Each structure stands twice: as C-alpha cells, then as structure tokens.
Structure 1
C-alpha cells in the first residue's frame, strides 16, 4: 500500500529531474561545481626542461570502425601540440608525456591512439613519451610521477579538460607534483525547454568528476591513497 501511494510522486519526481537535467537547468549548476570558474588566463611558464603532460580521456570507434580520440580529447591533443610549439621557442628541451592505458578494452591504448595525432600536429616522435598502462586518473598521476622521477624537469604543464582538471590536480599533488594547469576545453549546458542529449552527457560527466573528488578524500582519509 505504501508503494502504491509513493509510485505517482516518485514517477513525477523522476520525470522532473530528468527534464531539469536534459533541458540544462540542473546540468548547469552541476558543471559549475565540477569545472573551475576561471580558465587558463596566464600564459604557461616554460623552463629549460619542460614536460607537457597530456591526460587520456578514452577512445571510441568511428563510423568506419576505426579507433579515434573523443571530441574532448582532440582538444587536449591540439592544446598540447600548441604548447609544445610555444615551448620550443623558448626552452632547450620540451617533451609531451601522453598518459592513458586501455580501461575500455579497445584494440589499442589511449596513448598509442593519440600518438598519430600529435605527430600530425608537428610534435616529433623523439619528444613524445608514451605512458600506456594507467586506467584511472590516480594511475595517470602515479605512473607519470615515476617517469618524472627518472628525468629532471624544471616545469610541468598539465593538459586536460576543465571538468577533469580539479580531480587531476588532486591526484598529481598526492605524488608531490604541482603542474601548471592548462585547460583544453570546457563543457557548457544548453538551457531551454526541449531536452537535449548533450546535456545528459554533461550531467553524467560532472557527476562522475564530483563523485571522483569525494572518493579521493574518502580514500585519503582511510589511507588507501
């Protein structure tokens, strides 16, 4: 009897939440919580030995069943290549460290999939370091930290999307690293009346990052991180 009485309010509430997410009105504040309010304003500070860290964000199959980077990752690749070009104009040594394994179990790792795009953007293969075993952002930070420990760098630049940057910085700081954040792109909700699929994707992304940040603090308090 209690379930019968609650069914209608629950159904109405679920529909209302779905519409608020799909129409952008609830997605917008979620993105505001997940993404830094300020984009990268100050230009990157390059040093004689600079490492540009490109974080992976998955892979997908296109219509021809070819494994390619998602749209957000294409922006990360472009910004990393642009940063490399700027670095070479003022620094003696510049490297791009591409960090991303194969958590989706596709035919290739993220790092290996992104490599041809960096080469196409005029980043020499000799200046690209592939870290292709990490499956999470925490493992990105841990594995890159190990690479950095074998070489001396004077400046670190971290390239990823706005929604991913807060959690990524937490993980890198966990390993004693303080990279300069360089945001490649940000997500924006499209407010309106009609539901939009992109708003649902953005809401899921924001929730994933917020939960990940909460998980970081819980695991740190428990001594797991």
Structure 2
C-alpha cells in the first residue's frame, strides 16, 4: 500500500526467496553455517569421572494428548545413551545431566519428560540428574554450571543437535565450562525444483541459530551476557 510502484518487485522477490528456501538452495548454505563444524569435532574422551550434559529442545502433545519430546530430541537422547553406554564400558563413573525447563508451560518440564526415555535406554536412575528450571540455552549453561560448581569431574561432554552446538558452546564457555562437543544428527536439506516443507523447517532452525549467535555477541559487547 505504501510502495505501489515497488509492489510487483516485492512480490517477485518474496516468491523467489520462498522458493530458494523451500527448494533448499538457500537453506543448504544457511544450515551449513550453523552445523558444518560438527564434522570436525574430535572423538570424546572419557575421564575417571565423566559428566554428560544433554540439552532440551522442547515438548509437544501427541495425537493422544500425551506430552512427548519434540522430534529433534530423540537423536539427542540416542546420542546421550550411546555416550553413557561407552562410558560404562570403559569402567568410568558416569553421570548424565538433562537440562530443560518448561518454556511452553505444559504440565511437565522438558527434563522430566525426557527422563523415562533415557531410563528406557539403560541410563541408570542413580546416574541421572534433572535440571528442570532453565528456559533458554543461556540458562541451560548457567544452571548446569551451578550444579557442577561443587562436583569433581575429569571429563565433561555436551550433547545437543549439530545445528545448536555452536551457540550452546558459546553459552557454556561464558560460564567457564569447556565441554567436549558431541553432536547429535542435525537437519538435512534436499535441494530440487519443488518446494518442500522440511526445507522450510530447516531454514527456520538455521535462521534462529544464526540470530542467536549474533544476539550472543551483541549482548556480550553490551555487557548483558
């Protein structure tokens, strides 16, 4: 309405942007910018006392009304359970901290919702610690640092999705923690001619992470983080 002469150009540009994202051609480099480092992470090393931190990624209600993890959480659970099993096989003392509060204000926190899945994946209840207050990645790091303040550990691992790892590491470093990154499988883009809904979802994730990375550096420069 304000720019009548530019209306056609704006519509064409918007349609082109939508196609580039939904067909994957623009989504692919955006996603690579946030999860490309995962291919270069070194294999984790287990110390005599190892702590594995898994970050949450939301919950939802399924078709039967049950509160369940979001789809991206299941690779994190599988990766955490695998690291825990390897730790136990190496005869180490192993602890798993699940960090995730209740930002959606559902009937249970992320950590409490994920716990049964980890127990089913053979993580011992005595080795499972639930941090169910954090609402953001920054608070994940803050509250996990608080838990670890009075604990002795030799090896610290951080499990989250590949696309989330760069931002998560920044937040954990902010609180003096230097975990070994263990990336769960991230998003995959399929490029082609036709629009694909998963590509739009991946674009949303990539943009969210890129904005979060920029926000972290701006807040640090302002002294807010």
Residues of 2 paired with 1:99 and 1:41: CA distance?
22
Q: Which residue of 2 aligns with 1:50?
A: 50
Q: Which residue of 1 aligns with 2:177?
A: 177
- For structure 1, the 5+ residue unaligned runs are none
Q: Which residue of 1 aligns with 2:205?
A: 205
Q: Which residue of 2 aligns with 1:26?
A: 26
Question: Do residues 66 (structure 1) and 38 (structure 2) align?
Answer: no
8 Å contact kept, 2:46–2:92: no
Q: Secondary structure, in 3 states, of the residue corresponding to 1:31?
A: helix
In the TM superposition, what are the counterparts of 1:37-186 in structure 2 within 5 Å?
Answer: 37-39=37-39, 42-186=42-186
Residues of 1 paired with 2:211 and 2:41: CA distance?
27
* TM-score when normalising by structure 1: 0.97
Q: Secondary structure, in 3 states, of the residue corresponding to 1:71?
A: coil
How has the CA–CA distance of structure 1 residues 40 and 84 changed in structure 2, closer, same or farther, with 3 Å as cutoff?
Answer: farther
* CA-CA distance at 1:42 after TM superposition: 3.7
After superposition, give the CA deviation of every residue in 1:147-198 in whole Å (9 maximum; x if it has no partner).
0102111100000001000000000000111100001112121101111110
Residues of 2 paired with 1:187 and 1:26: CA distance?
14
Which is worse superposed, 213-222 or 90-99?
Answer: 90-99
Question: Do residues 195 (structure 1) and 172 (structure 2) align?
Answer: no
How has the CA–CA distance of structure 1 residues 135 and 117 changed in structure 2, closer, same or farther, with 3 Å as cutoff?
Answer: same
Residues of 2 paired with 1:210 and 1:2: CA distance?
30
How has the CA–CA distance of structure 1 residues 2 and 44 changed in structure 2, closer, same or farther, with 3 Å as cutoff?
Answer: closer
8 Å contact kept, 1:162–1:186: yes
Which is worse superposed, 207-216 or 58-67?
Answer: 58-67
Residues of 1 paired with 2:122 and 2:188: CA distance?
30
Residues of 2 paired with 1:104 and 1:127: CA distance?
27
* CA-CA distance at 1:2 after TM superposition: 6.5
Stretches of 4+ aligned residues off by more than 4 angstroms: none
Aligned residue pairs total 225
After superposition, give the CA deviation of every residue in 1:30-50 in whole Å (9 maximum; x if it has no partner).
001111334266432001110
Task: Give the RMSD, CA atoms, in angstroms.
Answer: 1.3
Q: Which residue of 2 aligns with 1:35?
A: 35
Q: Which residue of 2 aligns with 1:14?
A: 14
* CA-CA distance at 1:91 after TM superposition: 3.9
8 Å contact kept, 2:38–2:162: no
* TM-score when normalising by structure 2: 0.97
Q: Secondary structure, in 3 states, of the residue corresponding to 1:183?
A: strand
Residues of 2 paired with 1:39 and 1:143: CA distance?
28
Q: Secondary structure, in 3 states, of the residue corresponding to 1:168?
A: helix
How has the CA–CA distance of structure 1 residues 171 and 151 changed in structure 2, closer, same or farther, with 3 Å as cutoff?
Answer: same
